Structure 1
Amino acid sequence: MYYERRGRTDGAAPPVLFLHGLGSSAADWAPQLGPFGERYRLLLVDLPGHWRSALPRERLTIEAMAERVDALLDQLDTPPAHVVGLSLGGSVGLELALRAPARVRSLTLVNAFARLGPPDAAGGLRMLARLVLLGVAPMSVVAAFVARGLFPEPQQAHLYRLAVASLGRTSRWTYLASIGALVAFDARARLGRVACPTLVVAGERDRTVSLASTAAPPAIQSPPCGSPWRWRRRCSRCSATPP
């Protein structure tokens, strides 16, 4: 599995593992590398089948992806890490925390889920359109459609272009297999076994993971945060202490 090491190189700095979303890659974390790299050792991966990591021959599941991440951490002799997962990467991070709790120092889940529930009406229509496009259109068209849903505003044009480039590198089979893995994943019965401090972040306009489904006291609402830079500034002013 492809990985990159960034940030600090001294052994005293705690490691942070970044796990990207569906159809993306380690490159998506570029805006976070500077600020986090000042304090942490950073480990970024391309999940199985994504960009520089080969699609395994066996059926792609969240459990299998977490197992491969676990094996990589073992190979690199990585101490307990702060794990940050976005969407698909959040589900993989959650599974990693459940199967190998000693690996995970803390868990940050961004627009992720223990079980993919039914989207709202608009989200359902977009998912249906996405599946139709996956059957008939080149991945460049699928990438443009998905990216427009993620970054619809004119001021998000730069993020839109980055998303198109990232999603366009994903094969049709990886994308379909990853959707299948997400649909099959269900960790709800095991959530009580998550032992590490956990931060759950949800986007106000996310049509796949609703804000209500992630609500938990105490929760901090921070709208609007329409870019990684704005979100980073807001996060830098907040601190959380586990109970």
Structure 2
Amino acid sequence: MEKKMKILCLHGFRTSGSFLKKQISKWDPSIFAQFDLVFPDGLFPAGGKSEIEGIFAPPYFEWFQFDKDFTEYTNLEECISYLCDYITREGPFAGLLGFSQGATLSALLLGYQAQGKLLKEHPPFKLFVSVSGSKFRDPSICEVAYKDAIRVKSVHFIGEKDWLKLPSQELATAFDNPLIIRHPQGHTVPRLDEVSTGQMRNFTAEIIRESIEKKHELENGEVKVDSEERKPEEMSKINNQEKSAMDINKRELEIAEAVKA
């Protein structure tokens, strides 16, 4: 039986992977029936009070810390390094899904990968689901991550009463041809009505269809390039690139440079 494609799901600030899993369970199961959803916990224990205390049991986690203006970040480099290692070790992943801080972080990874800064050895992501996401505000990050429109199929949930409504709209503009689904709720993973459920079914079905078509093309040799047809110097270059891609120390250096760029 063929393995399902994986989606990495990143939770919000001071919550947990288990909480995001519960939130997403409100959606019709047919939406992600063809995918395996993975819900890791943030790298750091919550450094303060969680808004879901009394609603959902601890422990709670956060991916990184930030100042009140969301322009300065603590432990972001460590967080990115951790996620790159996790993605490489547990992947490949077809896409990313995130809520709030998790969505903001996911979009950053997508932008950095598109610019060749991170995850060079990992296949390009096919999809992104953002719920209440936003852009980073540090110019040095923006100039890299959002330099060009991110060509990943994306859907952005934007709440009418969400305090991140405008930042969520701004994040959507960083993507090529984004699907925007608006809902009347606030800063939460919304329950989906019949229309939005249909939109999400179509969104994931399109990803599956394109993946199957690409696989058939490769099997039929329409895209495949036989290694015997390559020149020796080309094969040597490819082998060197593969070895370099597996070098963890080099990847960590790239992460540091990307964050500090």
Quickly name the TM-score band, shorter chain normalised: 0.5 to 0.7
SS in 2 for 1:83: strand
> Structure 1 233/39 Cα, relative in aligned 2: closer, same or farther at 3 Å?
farther
Give the letter aligned to residue 108 of structure 1. V
> Structure 1 66/209 Cα, relative in aligned 2: closer, same or farther at 3 Å?
farther
Return the alpha-carbon distance in structure 2 between the equivalents of residues 75 and 112 of structure 1.
Answer: 26
Return the alpha-carbon distance in structure 2 between the equivalents of residues 222 and 43 of structure 1.
Answer: 25
1:38 is matched with which residue?
A: 33
The correspondence for 2:13, drawn from 15, 19, 22, is 22
Give the letter aligned to residue 213 of structure 1. E
* In the alignment, structure 1 residue 72 sits paired with structure 2 residue 67: no
Segments of structure 1 that go 5 or more residues without pairing to the other structure are 1-9, 117-182
Q: Over aligned residues, Cα RMSD in angstroms?
A: 3.6
Q: CA deviation at 1:98?
A: 2.5
Give the letter aligned to residue 154 of structure 2. T
Q: Which structure has greater helix proportion?
A: 1
* In the alignment, structure 1 residue 187 sits paired with structure 2 residue 179: no
* In the alignment, structure 1 residue 12 sits paired with structure 2 residue 26: no
- Counterpart contact for 1:66–1:95, Cα < 8 Å: no
- Counterpart contact for 2:157–2:180, Cα < 8 Å: no
Return the alpha-carbon distance in structure 1 between the equivalents of residues 178 and 113 of structure 2.
Answer: 26
- Give 1:167-178 correspondences, 5 Å limit: none
- Relative contact order higher in (CA < 8 Å, ≥ 6 apart): 1
- Counterpart contact for 2:157–2:182, Cα < 8 Å: no
Give the letter aligned to residue 126 of structure 2. R
Give the letter aligned to residue 88 of structure 2. D
Point out the structure with max Rg over C-alpha.
Answer: 2
Q: Please give the TM-score of this superposition, normalised by the length of structure 2.
A: 0.50
Return the alpha-carbon distance in structure 1 between the equivalents of residues 150 and 9 of structure 2.
Answer: 18
Q: CA deviation at 1:206?
A: 1.4
1:83 is matched with which residue?
A: 96
Return the alpha-carbon distance in structure 1 between the equivalents of residues 95 and 184 of structure 2.
Answer: 25
> Structure 1 203/64 Cα, relative in aligned 2: closer, same or farther at 3 Å?
farther
Return the alpha-carbon distance in structure 2 between the equivalents of residues 229 and 84 of structure 1.
Answer: 14
- Counterpart contact for 2:158–2:180, Cα < 8 Å: no
> Structure 1 188/219 Cα, relative in aligned 2: closer, same or farther at 3 Å?
farther
Alignment size in residue pairs: 164
2:118 is matched with which residue?
A: none
1:236 is matched with which residue?
A: 197
Segments of structure 2 that go 5 or more residues without pairing to the other structure are 46-58, 65-73, 115-122, 208-261
SS in 1 for 2:44: coil
